[in-house]
Structure 1
Amino acid sequence: IEVLDNEGRSALHWACLHEALDVVQVLLRYEASVNCQSLMWGTPLHCAILKKNREIAMALLQYGAAVNARDYVGNTPFNMAVHSSRKDIARLLLQYGAEVTIANDLDETPIAAAIESGDFAAVQAIAPLIRAD
């Protein structure tokens, strides 16, 4: 189950991309690497967020997925959830310790993505979580 394709994707990446929750659960039970990093897709959690699949994201998090892992452009799963306006997934990631201030390689933070997409509710939800140091 740890064989990778030429872009570093595992069976778990593919199961997430195809939204096959039953396959994801089997792979996790057989200890597939939940944090395997592919060249272009990030971790399986990034794939679940890309597909906007909360159930798969939750399964991965329950098996220890790194909530603040970065993909090839520096996006965390939280960055992706906010950018795609998936408040339910963003809240789930926050419950598992997502950091709200991590900027991607373009120096875009989750709150900047929310502002850019006009998602005022997301801005209101994220703003109180940002601490001034």
Structure 2
Amino acid sequence: MPRRAFLVGTAFLSLLAAPVSATGKTMNGTRLHQAAGQNDAAAITRLLAAGAEIEARDRNGATPLLVATHANAVEAARVLVQAGADVNAEDLIQDSPYLYAGARGHLEILKMTLAHGADLKSTNRFGGTALIPACERGHVETVRTLIEAGVDVDHVNNLAWTALLEAIILGDGGPRHQQIVDLLVRAGADVNLADGNGVTPLGHARAAGYDKIQRILVAAGAR
């Protein structure tokens, strides 16, 4: 191998092996972001003790806690939350640990955020609360948890849809979405609150042929 190529290769390997400080940047964010994504609670504890910035942002504007939430890295999230990480810190597309955990059904992390100051009125880039996408995606226990926490069941997003409408329009009409519709109705959701085109939840359920959901709605006074 020519000496120049050898020296360049050696220098490159040395850079790869060089240590990065607790607050130093990696290719995408900090060492803390990396540890969070890998659910490495021990590394997170060490990095925080060494002075790592708990609210540092990666190139997507995500904090280490949001990275942990993306990965459903429960132990990493627990360490970060207990260390004071902001559960409402939003990234560049308006996701926060609280909102993302709710939308994706990451129930353990969601409960942590609720216990540490989650903003129940915060909304995602579609103007929806954490409850609305949870209903769409069929996360029954997440929906139950958010309702019990006090999230507004009749909040209307930018599409003019409530959680009830979204559960019907974007759901599959199966057992999970039937349970979710029942939970929303029992929580006092307005069964006649129509979408932007004036179509009610019952109208959408009829159009989709969701018989069980229709029965739940009619029993609750839907028209």
TM-score normalized by structure 1?
Answer: 0.89
Question: Does residue 126 of structure 2 align to residue 73 of structure 1?
Answer: yes
Task: Report the RMSD for the aligned CA atoms in angstroms.
Answer: 1.7
* Structure 1 gaps, min length 5: none
Verify the 8 A CA contact 1:54 1:89 in the aligned structure 2: yes
2:185 counterpart letter in structure 1:
A
Q: How much does 1:79 deviate? A: 0.5
Alignment length (residue pairs)? 132
Residues of 1 paired with 2:189 and 2:101: CA distance?
25
User: Taking structure 1 as reference, are residues 55 and 2 closer, same or farther at Cα in structure 2, changes over 3 Å only?
Assistant: same
- Aligned equivalent of 1:47, options 100, 110, 113: 100
Percent identical residues: 26
- Aligned equivalent of 1:89, options 129, 142, 145: 142
TM-score normalized by structure 2?
Answer: 0.55
CA shift digits 1:58-100 (9 cap, x unpaired): 1111111112310111121100111111111011111111110
- The answer for the alignment partner of 1:127 in structure 2 is 185
Q: How much does 1:7 deviate? A: 2.8
User: 2:113 aligns to what SS in structure 1?
Assistant: helix
Question: Does residue 89 of structure 2 align to residue 36 of structure 1?
Answer: yes
Residues of 2 paired with 1:69 and 1:79: CA distance?
12
1:24 counterpart letter in structure 2:
A
Bigger relative contact order (CA 8 A; separation at least 6): 1
1:112 counterpart letter in structure 2:
L
Greater displacement, 1-10 / 74-83: 1-10
User: 1:91 aligns to what SS in structure 2?
Assistant: helix
Residues of 2 paired with 1:15 and 1:22: CA distance?
9
2:141 counterpart letter in structure 1:
D
User: 1:106 aligns to what SS in structure 2?
Assistant: coil
Verify the 8 A CA contact 1:35 1:65 in the aligned structure 2: yes
CA shift digits 1:20-41 (9 cap, x unpaired): 1111111111111111122215
Verify the 8 A CA contact 2:164 2:184 in the aligned structure 1: yes
Q: How much does 1:9 deviate? A: 1.1
Q: Which runs of 4+ in 1 moved over 4 A?
A: none
Larger-Rg structure: 2
